[in-house]
Structure 1
Amino acid sequence: MRLVHWIGAALAAVVTCVAVVQVARSASGGPPVPASCPQRWGGEGIGGWVPAAADIDGADESLVPGSPVRALICAYPGDNTHPGGERLAGTRTLADQAGAMARDLGYLPVTDTPRGGPCTLMGGPMTNYLIRFAYPDGRALWVGSAQEVNSCVTTTNGTVGSRSYVGPGITAAYRTGVWKPTRSDDPCSGSAGRRGQDERMVPEGAVSVVVCGQISYPERPPRREYGEQVARELATALNSLGTRPSDNMCQRGEGTDDREFRLMFGYRDGPPADVRISAGCTPGIDNDLLQADLDDSVRDRVARLAPPP
């Protein structure tokens, strides 16, 4: 048997990027959330650190719960080959944009123990970020994240974390003062994920699905789009399978089915839910947080919906 990484053969060199979320004591039993940017990045890695965890209702379920009214972005540029201890290089305060930024970050899928995934080995510049969200009652919450060339980042509020990559959006907000999450124009590429995918393969409420075929660079992968009925039937089938926490890997035997598909479930509001199917792998279904074995019923259903090769 040979080990197959979910990111595919296009990435020849990979290394497991272990995300260690470093946090101070909770606000209820430790120091309050600082009111200004720390002068140095206190973590030892790329993202995954905040100076203090906040005692905010919902912080164990969402990166940014509630409705903050202000966001202070702190930037710590450095190099991804020697991360940790970067000096504060500048700040940006968002007022009108803070609510939208909090809402979009709050949609990201989270767990209390974010797992590492395969990362490319390219060295280069990176910027660690802290974002201080201030609430009308005077409380605050930190979010730590980063932008780096491998997109191998953990974003955390000190209680839960996400592997969804939002670095380019934070960088744009820091530079321009406008929050606009960066998403690919092609629904079959780019990173995705939706809150709730730590509990079920496809969260409730899907109204569409794009079935993407094998990626063949530089060509766009073939795809077929379906409406609400197909999306919900497919989601029900996927959610009926037994799941377990994902290690973002599978095992493939020689001579097995090498078809791979990506299912992008759309919603009326918020980001899509991303599910990957690898027909000849065990386990054959993965959404970055959960994985499941691919049974014949789901395999045949996806094959019927898939675009021609």
Structure 2
Amino acid sequence: MTRSQWALAAVVAVVMAVAVCGGVALARHAGRSSAVPDACPRHWEDEGIGGWVPAGPDVDGADESLVPGSPVRALICAYPGVNTDPGGERLGGSRTLTDQAAAMARDLAYLPVTTGEVEHVCTLAGGPMTNYLVRFAYADGSALWVGSAEEVNSCVTTTNGEARTSSYVGTALTAAYRGGTWRMPRPDDPCRGGGDRRGQEDAMVPEEPDWVLVCLDGGEKWPPRREHGAAAARRLAAVLDDLDTVPSGHGCQGGGPEADDREYRLVFGYAEGPPAGVRVAYGCTPGVDNGMLQADVGDDVRRLMARLTP
């Protein structure tokens, strides 16, 4: 073989090696994507209410957000049943959202999440229940599932297979499935709002709020409240964030008949996204709870709250 023939053979070998390596990379990517089914499973293959997906996510950041990035399509699969005998529900129907997918993904991405277990304190009313799977598809061909449910006790785990939350989205999912429009419900009175915001798994009040609404929760339909601007909101947030926290057990121990039993709902607002909610109960230990974290009230909280309460 001549020198030119050897050179040509070497070039061909390199090209073939590159092609083979490229083929392996594409095959790996194709295999990873095919692990996320592109159609609704025929059955809900779990015994839980929400909290299940048929395949792990194929999207970066899925351990930090329920729906990272910007999906272009959302396939909603519905599995109706009853909460007294959950598991194995048959597919009842599906709906595909396109122009609503980005808003749906944004709202779910704002929810606080954990990769650990989600604890619930649930009422036990029996009634109808619908498990939901939502397949979010992205322009690059990747996808992820989110599993959740609508249930009379609002006691649901929502997950993408890695991140999970106890924040309830069942009502919004049912409305989107039935009517084709996604919208997170908002309360008539902000003092009654859920106040679940991304970051509350790490801090009692995440980021820098623009205002805070301090509501005295005494059982009234429209409880007394005072609204304060950014300066007061951020001072209060800083004091709450300085507390020693533990994962929320969604409950507290009463302080006895002589205890101060005042209870407040704090709603911290932001320029974008949902509010962050914190409950402060003086007669309980631990008395500060944001749904993900709990802490004791502390003297600094009491002193600042005394100037801000209605």
More helix by share: 2
Structure 1 residue 303, shift from structure 2 partner: 3.0
Structure 1 residue 155, shift from structure 2 partner: 0.7
* CA distance in 1 between partners of 2:112 and 2:135 (Å): 20
Q: Which residue of 2 is the match for residue 24 of structure 1?
A: none
Q: Is the 8 A contact 2:118 2:157 kept in 1?
A: no
- The answer to whether residue 110 in structure 2 is matched with residue 107 in structure 1 is yes
Size of the aligned set, in residue pairs, is 280
Q: Is the 8 A contact 2:82 2:129 kept in 1?
A: yes
Q: Could you give the per-residue CA deviations for residues 149-184 of structure 1, whole angstroms, max 9, x where no partner exists?
A: 111111100001011111111111111111111121
Q: Which residue of 1 is the match for residue 164 of structure 2?
A: 161
Q: Is the 8 A contact 1:164 1:192 kept in 2?
A: no
Q: Which residue of 2 is the match for residue 96 of structure 1?
A: 99
Q: Is the 8 A contact 2:36 2:58 kept in 1?
A: no
Q: Which residue of 1 is the match for residue 120 of structure 2?
A: 117
Q: Which residue of 2 is the match for residue 242 of structure 1?
A: 244
Q: Is the 8 A contact 2:32 2:58 kept in 1?
A: no
Secondary structure at 2:192 match in 1: coil
Runs of 5+ consecutive residues of structure 2 not aligned to the other structure = 1-29
Q: Which residue of 2 is the match for residue 253 of structure 1?
A: 255
Structure 1 residue 273, shift from structure 2 partner: 0.5
Secondary structure at 2:209 match in 1: coil
**Larger RCO (CA under 8 A, 6+ residues apart):** 1
Q: Which residue of 2 is the match for residue 59 of structure 1?
A: 62
In the superposition, relative to structure 1, how do residues 114 and 303 fare at CA in structure 2: closer, same or farther (>3 Å)?
farther
Secondary structure at 1:175 match in 2: helix
* Match among 185, 188, 191 for residue 188 of structure 2: 185
- How large is the RMSD of aligned CA atoms in angstroms? 1.6
Q: Could you give the per-residue CA deviations for residues 48-104 of structure 1, whole angstroms, max 9, x where no partner exists?
A: 110111131110100000000000000011101111111100000000110110001
Q: Which residue of 1 is the match for residue 131 of structure 2?
A: 128
Q: Which residue of 2 is the match for residue 229 of structure 1?
A: 231
Structure 1 residue 248, shift from structure 2 partner: 1.4
> What letter is aligned with 1:171?
T
Superposition TM-score, scaled by structure 1 size: 0.87
Q: Could you give the per-residue CA deviations for residues 222-251 of structure 1, whole angstroms, max 9, x where no partner exists?
A: 211111111111101111111111111211
Q: Is the 8 A contact 1:28 1:55 kept in 2?
A: no
Q: Is the 8 A contact 1:262 1:277 kept in 2?
A: yes
* CA distance in 2 between partners of 1:236 and 1:297 (Å): 11
Mark the structure with the bigger radius of gyration.
2
Q: Which residue of 1 is the match for residue 270 of structure 2?
A: 267
Secondary structure at 1:61 match in 2: coil
* CA distance in 2 between partners of 1:156 and 1:115 (Å): 10
Q: Is the 8 A contact 2:118 2:164 kept in 1?
A: no
Q: Which residue of 2 is the match for residue 8 of structure 1?
A: none
In the superposition, relative to structure 1, how do residues 213 and 28 fare at CA in structure 2: closer, same or farther (>3 Å)?
farther
Q: Is the 8 A contact 2:33 2:141 kept in 1?
A: no
Q: After superposition, where does 1:8-47 map in structure 2 within 5 Å?
A: 32-47=35-50
Structure 1 residue 214, shift from structure 2 partner: 1.6
Q: Is the 8 A contact 1:114 1:154 kept in 2?
A: no
* CA distance in 2 between partners of 1:181 and 1:295 (Å): 34
Q: Is the 8 A contact 1:133 1:141 kept in 2?
A: yes
Structure 1 residue 192, shift from structure 2 partner: 2.5
* Match among 73, 76, 92 for residue 73 of structure 1: 76
Secondary structure at 1:113 match in 2: coil
Secondary structure at 1:105 match in 2: helix
Structure 1 residue 30, shift from structure 2 partner: 10
Q: Is the 8 A contact 2:51 2:159 kept in 1?
A: yes
Q: Could you give the per-residue CA deviations for residues 28-59 of structure 1, whole angstroms, max 9, x where no partner exists?
A: 88970111000011121111110111131110
Q: Could you give the per-residue CA deviations for residues 174-204 of structure 1, whole angstroms, max 9, x where no partner exists?
A: 1111111112121111422101111111001
> Which stretch of the first structure deviates more once superposed, 40-49 or 68-77?
40-49
Structure 1 residue 215, shift from structure 2 partner: 3.7
Q: After superposition, where does 1:168-179 map in structure 2 within 5 Å?
A: 168-179=171-182
> What letter is aligned with 2:238?
T
In the superposition, relative to structure 1, how do residues 76 and 176 fare at CA in structure 2: closer, same or farther (>3 Å)?
same
Q: Is the 8 A contact 1:31 1:52 kept in 2?
A: no
Runs of 5+ consecutive residues of structure 1 not aligned to the other structure = 1-26
Structure 1 residue 296, shift from structure 2 partner: 1.1
* CA distance in 1 between partners of 2:278 and 2:146 (Å): 26
